[in-house]
Amino acid sequence: MNISEILSTKFTEFDIGTPLSKVAGAFENQELDAVVVTDGDEYRGVVSRRQLASSSNQPSAKVGSQVQHVPTVERTEDVREVARLMIGSDAKTLPVLDEDRIFGVVTADAILEAVRPFLDAVTVEDAYSTKLVSTTPEATIGKTLNLLRESGIAHLPVIDGDELVGIVSLYDVIEFTTRGGSKSQGGSSGSFGGRGRSGGSHGGFGAREGDSDRMLDLPVRNLMSDVVVTVRRSAPLDEVVETMFEHEVSSLVVTADQTGEPVGIITKTDVIEALTWERDDRNAVQVFGLDLLEGMDYDDVSALIESVTSKYGEMSVIKASIELQEHKEQSRGVPLVLARIRLVTDRGYFTADGEGYGATHALRLAANAVERQLLKGKTYGQSKKQSDAESQEHLYGWWLSG
pLDDT per position as a tens digit, 121-147: 788 888 888 778 899 999 999 899 888
Q: Please give the Cα distance from 293 to 291 (Å, whole number).
A: 6
Q: Please give the Cα distance from 88 to 73 (Å, whole number).
A: 13
Across 272-276, average pLDDT: 83
User: CB-based burial of residue 372 (10 Å sphere; 0-12 exposed, 13-18 middle, 19+ buried)?
Assistant: exposed
Question: How much is the pLDDT for 246?
Answer: 92
Question: How much is the pLDDT for 313?
Answer: 67
Dump pLDDT digits (tens) for 12-30. 899 999 988 888 888 876 6
Burial 36-53 (b: 16+ CB within 10 A, else e): bbbeeeebbbbbbbbebb
Question: How much is the pLDDT for 196?
Answer: 38
Across 236-240, average pLDDT: 93
Q: Which of 125, 143, 126 is nearest to 134 (CA)?
A: 143
Q: Please give the Cα distance from 126 to 141 (Å, whole number).
A: 33
Architecture of domain 13-108: Roll (3.10)
Fold of 285-376: Double Stranded RNA Binding Domain (3.30.160)
Lay out the sheet containing 93-98: strands in order across. 73-74, 93-98, 101-107
Fold of 127-273: CBS-domain (3.10.580)
pLDDT of 305 strictly over 50: yes
Which is more confidently placed, 266 or 326?
266
- Looking at the chain, the domain(s) classified CATH 3.10.580.10 span 13-108, 127-273
What percentage of the chain carries pLDDT values higher than 90? Answer: 18
Q: Which of 95, 103, 34, 97 is nearest to 66 (CA)?
A: 34
pLDDT of 200 strictly over 50: no
Which is more confidently placed, 106 or 155?
106
What is the amino acid identity at position 72?
Answer: T
Dump pLDDT digits (tens) for 71-124. 888 888 888 888 888 887 788 899 998 877 888 999 999 999 998 888 887 888
- Looking at the chain, the domain(s) classified CATH 3.30.160.100 span 285-376
Least confident of 160-164, 238-242, 308-312, 337-341: 308-312
Q: What letter does residue 311 receive in the DSSP assignment?
A: G
CB-based contact 192:200 (threshold 8 Å): yes
Pairing, β 334-345 against β 317-331? antiparallel
